[in-house]
Amino acid sequence: MFAIAIIKTFYKNQTEVAEAINFVIDSYWADKIKEMEMIDLIREIIKNNHSLAFKNGDFTTILKQRCGKRRLEISLNIWKDRGED
């Protein structure tokens, strides 16, 4: 197994956030990263881009369209289980 070399955690727009979430989860599904690494990266991406990821307590339309239900379900479970808030 190998880790993702470099992944940013701050993005300019919702499309970039969606692409990052897709990349991280797809890398996990392809056994390129371990589960804890995926969890840590998803938490950081959402934490650092909360205003781009959520609107009125739900994922934005752009993320829903680009990520799909399963990836967002995983992301939301990771986000809710972060032990903060």
The pLDDT assigned to 50 comes to: 95
Buried/exposed 33-58: b ≥16 CB within 10 Å, e otherwise: beeebbbebbbbbbeebeebbeeeee
Per-residue pLDDT tens over the stretch 1-47: 444 556 788 999 999 999 999 999 999 999 999 999 999 999 999 99
With cut-offs at 50, 70 and 90, classify the pLDDT of residue 83: low
How does strand 58-59 pair with strand 54-55? antiparallel
The pLDDT assigned to 45 comes to: 95
Per-residue pLDDT tens over the stretch 60-72: 999 999 999 999 9
The pLDDT assigned to 47 comes to: 95
